[in-house]
Amino acid sequence: MGPQFKYGTPDAYKFFLDLGPLRNANERHFKGNIAFWNDLMEHGRYDRFWQERNLLPNLKSIRAALMTVGGWFDAEDLYGPPAIYKSVEQNNPDIHNSLVMGPWFHGAWERSDGKSLGDISFGAKTSLSYQSDIEFPFFDHYLNNVPMQSLPEAYVFQTGSNRWLAFESWPPAELSRESLYFHAHGRLSFESPQERRESFDEYVSDPARPVPYTAAISTERGRTYMIEDQRFAVRRPDVLVYQTDPLTDPVSIAGPIAANLFVSTTGADADFVVKLIDVFPDDAPESSADHSGLPMGGYQMLVRAEVMRARFRNSFEEPEPLVPGQVTPVRFELRDACHTFRPRHRIMVQIQSSWFPLVDRNPQTFVDIYAATEKDFKKATHRVHRSADCGSHLELGVLR
């Protein structure tokens, strides 16, 4: 293992902001000597370079029983396990193919007891129960011919309620696809908007002051940002916030989440980060995670988040600019989840246009970002529309 890179500061946000455009990484630090970095800079869209590295089309002619395991808070690869399960299911219908998703970071099903992550407790040692109740019987059966009760097709941990659920498919067949719409005054509701006139919320996105992805001061990308309290972001003027009234009944979601935005901008490109958040009641009890005693009143637990660079809204192969002032649909998935929003909690959605430095800054001009210079980065005003004809919303799979 080579020497660790020396940032010269404990603050990654400061380091990468001072670095400026991505091209400066080679000029200031790598000097062209990092081959994979050079490949990344030369392949900024989903071209043949990336297509040849896609594992999913090759998951065919599998004969062995397969159980794919992943974590709901895996910062390295949340996309992979459900996508692998789906591809294997389509291409190998005659084998045993199952999916297990727990409340884990990357590899936590083997490297931790799975009792908590960050400030959030899951009520039990979930990794240990997985190992004894799922993993061991699976291998004992298929390697040693020991009889076992049939494993469900999907065995997933439902955060919020902190319980394991079994389904015969993933996503579950019993889901109802429902939409959460954005309304005036930051209201979020399953009711569609009725306004016929143009209605929107707007904010100024300044690449010189990007929204951080975490409140932590560190040069390490920790795993807990996947579940972190989002109140550090909600107070910024360049973050839109929508939330429901306190729930009277639980709302349980499962499967993929899709963001359906109608946006316009004064620029020619933009990033849109959408975050789905569970807001705890103000009188929520203290955390029972390992560092117990933390006040949890008003905690904004990140459930799922994803970013879309709008130039790729129609194709990852052929980017297209946004037309300034033109209302444009931008749809993308936030990946899968299985979560219950409990009574008295609120469902919140935050929308922003930077997530720094987890995601590099968008210049908001239609240029090659990997060759962009400081002058290419411009402020832009972004609008999220919420009329009857252009009703921005999240699409959820709801378990009734």
Name the residue ranges covered by the structural domains of the chain.
56-167, 175-399
Alpha-carbon Rg for the chain, nearest whole angstrom, is 22
pTM: 0.96
Helix (H) and strand (E) counts in the chain? 9, 17
- What is the four-CA torsion angle of 251, 254, 256, 259, rounded to 10 degrees? 0
DSSP H or E segment with residue 82: helix 80-91
Token pair, residue 168, equals 């015969």
How far is CA 218 from each of CA 143, 209, 294, 346, rounded to the nearest angstrom? 44, 18, 21, 30
Tokens 């990033």 correspond to 271
Q: Tell me whether strands 116-117 and 163-167 are parallel, antiparallel or unpaired.
A: unpaired
Residues 6+ apart with CB under 8 A from 14: none
CA distance 54 to 88: 14
β-partners of residue 346 are: 279
Distance of CA 252 to the CA centre of its chain: 18
- Residue 185 backbone zone (phi > 0: left; psi -120 to 50: alpha; other: beta): left
For 18-48, give one letter per residue: b (16+ CB within 10 A) or e: ebbbbbebbeeeeeeeeeeeeeebeebeeee
CA distance 21 to 373: 6
Provide the residue type at 192 as one letter: S
Q: Is 248 buried (19+), middle (13-18) or exposed (0-12) by CB count in 10 A?
A: exposed
pLDDT attached to residue 293 = 72
Q: What are the mean pLDDT values of the chain's consecutive 10-residue runs (400 residues total)?
A: 82 97 95 94 97 96 97 96 97 96 97 95 96 95 89 95 96 96 98 92 98 95 94 97 98 98 98 98 86 85 98 98 98 97 98 98 98 98 97 96
CA distance 176 to 253: 9
Tokens 């639980």 correspond to 250
Token pair, residue 45, equals 């869209």
**Beta carbons within 10 angstroms of residue 321's beta carbon:** 13
DSSP H or E segment with residue 143: helix 136-144
Q: 335: number of CA atoms within 13 Å, CB side? A: 23
What superfamily would CATH give domain 175-399? Answer: Galactose-binding domain-like (2.60.120.260)
CATH number, domain 56-167, options 1.10.150.20, 3.40.50.1820, 3.10.20.30, 3.30.70.3040 = 3.40.50.1820
pLDDT attached to residue 270 = 98
CA distance 325 to 282: 40
pLDDT attached to residue 292 = 61
Dihedral (CA of 223, 225, 226, 228) sign: positive
Q: Which of 216, 67, 239 is nearest to 156 (CA)?
A: 67
Token pair, residue 314, equals 């129609």
DSSP letter for each residue of 324-340? TT--EEEEEEEEEEEEE
DSSP H or E segment with residue 35: helix 35-42
Phi/psi at 391 (5° precision): -90, 95
Token pair, residue 113, equals 């007891």
Provide the residue type at 123 as one letter: G
